[in-house]
């Protein structure tokens, strides 16, 4: 007993597109709907920042006992000098305030920017060159676990010292 395919009823509601033109029209419509929904999801995400600068600016440098009295330690990734003396800890950014090159610290404790020749004294004040302002001293604090934490986006007075 062979099935008679001519009498199989198909639902008009779920019928496949009749022609290639119908199929392409349907595909274009769904593509537009999906693109619109994705664009709306992206637009909803715009007000939310991808990066939270405040949370990313605080970096642990190490425990205080890691740094000897009288030491000057350079953190190349942070481009930051950390000093320890009798008063405590201080940290200065070596990023030149002219166009952001890294200023090098000489044996005399002064800084020289290799890009356009800005010079800074031991406390980061401008001594020459195109730099509009001195090097930036960053805020130091102690984490609850006792680590020295530098806030790399801060700008504090050069006399600011962390006692630890």
Shortest distance, position 131 Cβ to ligand FES, whole Å: 6
Mapping DSSP to helix (H, G, I), strand (E, B) and coil, where does residue 144 land?
coil
The single residue among 26, 40, 87, 99 that binds ligand FES, judged by CB under 6 A, is 99
Shortest distance, position 80 Cβ to ligand FES, whole Å: 16
Residue 84 as a binder of ligand FES (CB under 6 A): the answer is: no
Structure-token match 């909803």, residue found: 44
The single residue among 80, 91, 113, 162 that binds ligand FES, judged by CB under 6 A, is 113
Q: Phi first, then psi: give them for residue 130, nearest 5 degrees.
A: -85, -5
Contacting residues for 122 by C-beta, under 8 A, at least 6 apart? 108, 109, 110
Tokens of 71: 């030491």
Span of 63-71, 78-86, 124-132, 156-164 interacting with ligand FES by CB under 6 A: 124-132
Quote the DSSP letter at residue 95: B
The single residue among 61, 80, 92, 96 that binds ligand FES, judged by CB under 6 A, is 96
Q: In angstroms, how far apart are the furthest CA atoms of the chain?
A: 104
The single residue among 118, 124, 134, 139 that binds ligand FES, judged by CB under 6 A, is 118
Total chain residues near ligand FES (CB under 6 A)? 12
| Pairing assessment for the beta strands 80-85 and 88-93 based on DSSP bridges | antiparallel
Q: Report the length, in residues, of the chain.
A: 164
Question: What is the binding site for ligand FES (CB under 6 A)?
Answer: 96, 98-99, 101, 113, 115-118, 129-131
């Amino acid at each position: 007993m062979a099935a008679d395919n001519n009498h199989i009823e198909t639902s008009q509601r779920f019928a496949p597109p009749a022609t290639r033109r119908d199929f392409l029209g349907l595909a274009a419509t769904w593509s537009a709907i999906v693109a619109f929904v994705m664009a709306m999801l992206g637009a909803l995400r715009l007000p939310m920042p991808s990066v939270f600068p405040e949370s990313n600016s605080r970096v642990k440098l190490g425990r205080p006992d890691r740094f000897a009295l009288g030491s000057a330690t350079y953190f190349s990734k942070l481009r930051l000098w950390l000093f320890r003396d009798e008063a405590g800890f201080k940290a200065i950014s070596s990023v030149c305030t002219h166009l952001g090159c890294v200023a090098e610290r000489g044996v005399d404790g002064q800084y020289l920017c290799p890009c356009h020749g800005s010079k800074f004294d031991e406390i980061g004040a401008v001594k020459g060159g195109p730099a509009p302002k001195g090097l930036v001293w960053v805020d130091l604090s102690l984490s609850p676990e006792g680590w020295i934490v530098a806030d790399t986006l801060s700008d504090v007075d050069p006399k600011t010292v962390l006692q630890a």
